[in-house]
Amino acid sequence: GLGVPQLVRRSGALRVAEVVSEVPGQAGAVVLDLGFETRVQVKLTGVGGALAAGDLVQVAVSGTRGTRVNAAQRGYFYDGVLERVVDGDTVIAVVALGCGVTRRMRVRLKGVDAAPIETASGREADALVCKRLKPGDPVVLETFRADPYGRYLAHVFYWGSRRREKASAETILDKGCFLNQELLDAGLAVAR
């Protein structure tokens, strides 16, 4: 056989926001695009000087701290918490966009297609995902465009409850389990 398709695992900075504009009359205040059509007006600290439209900033989960990043570090990576598993290739997570803003998202696993949950193999895929991910588990998503049903496509990374030590979101992204690939490796989904 040809073997199991391998998905590309990339890395980048979490919660990268783009400066949309400066706020007239308010020194240091900018409008940030946090992603997912979400914008905030904020005065960031720790960015070392004035920000201009197009600048990229990694923002903290909460508060107003930011760090400049370059285009090479940009991905669409967000940390969050699993709310629940919908089926073998869809989950709901509450994701931190940064600056205290969160968003509940229905996420379709990118690059994989599990059988419908009404089928035996669909139930098996669902069982694998439910075994690996529990409500409240930290996850990191690499997000892509939305599908025709309004679900964002994403690669889902997690640490795994079998590990005793906790992990930062950065560690989960770099060294955590890659759920999409695990479904392919287990033969419970096909590449799409």
Q: Which of 73, 89, 105 is the last residue of a domain?
A: 73
Q: Are residues 141 and 93 in the same domain?
A: yes
Kindly state whether residues 61 and 89 are assigned to the same domain: no
Residue 76 has pLDDT above 80, yes or no: yes
Judge if 30 and 121 occupy the same domain: no
Judge if 83 and 177 occupy the same domain.
yes
Confidence of residue 117 (pLDDT cuts 50, 70, 90): very high
Q: In the listed set 40, 73, 106, which residue is the last one of a domain according to the structure?
A: 73
Question: At 21, which CATH number?
Answer: 2.40.50
| Range 97-126 average pLDDT | 97
Task: Phi first, then psi: give them for residue 128, nearest 5 degrees.
Answer: -65, -45
125-168 pLDDT per residue, tens:
999 999 999 999 999 999 999 999 889 999 999 998 666 788 99
Task: Specify the number of domains making up the chain.
Answer: 2
User: What is the pLDDT at residue 155?
Assistant: 98
pLDDT mean across residues, the chain: 95
The CA dihedral of 160, 164, 165, 171, to the nearest 10 degrees, is: -20
Do 90 and 174 belong together in one domain?
Answer: yes
Tokens 């570090």 belong to 73
**Tens of pLDDT, residues 168-183:** 999 999 999 999 999 9
- Mean pLDDT of all residues in 114-129: 97
Domain assignment of residue 164, given as a range: 77-191
Query: Rounded CA gap, 139 and 160, in Å?
Result: 9
What is the layout of strands, in order, in the sheet containing 56-59?
A: 38-43, 29-35, 16-22, 56-59, 66-69
49-62: average pLDDT: 96
